[in-house]
Structure 1
Amino acid sequence: MKLCVVAAVVLAVQVLGVLGCGPMRGTSRRRGPHRLTPLVLKQHIPGVAEHTLTASGLTEGRIDRNDSRFRDLEPNYCNEIIFKDEEGTGADRLMTGVSTISFASSIFIQ
């Protein structure tokens, strides 16, 4: 009987110790996934201005149609983004590609 009580106490201590190793602090339950809400017009992520270093890194300068870098731009056909395209040329969809090298180097520069 005494051995059974000691075993139960040891088991309870071990279970409480293991609960602390979960994905969150302490023994709290895991929360459900956050509900994704669509962006409102004029809302952007990250919530900082487009031309700041934290949002887009160092600027390379303006690219216009006569620039040699204009043909390197990639069209973005994402249905979740509404482009104004007032001229009707489709040039509003052109964006610079994501450079993983510059992103990785910007992490280590800080």
Structure 2
Amino acid sequence: MANQLTEMLKGTLEGIVLAILAEQPAYGYEITTRLRDEGFAEIAEGTIYALLVRIEQRGIVDVAKVPSEKGPPRKVYTLNTQGEAQLAEFWQTWRLLSDRIEHLRQRG
């Protein structure tokens, strides 16, 4: 089951991270902590940082460097207008897919 969960998370992780950022801006470690608090403990921290690089490059988040008390500045990610649209599309797709899967489950 763990392998199946990992594969399913790969396809939804971006939307999950965008949903977290829709609540409030955050830096990488905060996002990882929030994911763990929400029950996604199996997601490696490196996976989150790679995802953050990709969504920054795609322009769906704004990034600000904020001074840190413990080292170099942190990159704080904020969902922008494009990111909000991407998240809305994610939720629409999620509803469509989950409705179809639930329909199959009820038939079987």
**Higher strand fraction: Structure 1 or Structure 2?**
2
Greater C-alpha Rg? 1
- How does the TM-score come out when normalised to structure 2? 0.29
TM-score (norm 1): 0.28
Structure of higher RCO (CA pairs closer than 8 Å, 6+ residues apart): 2
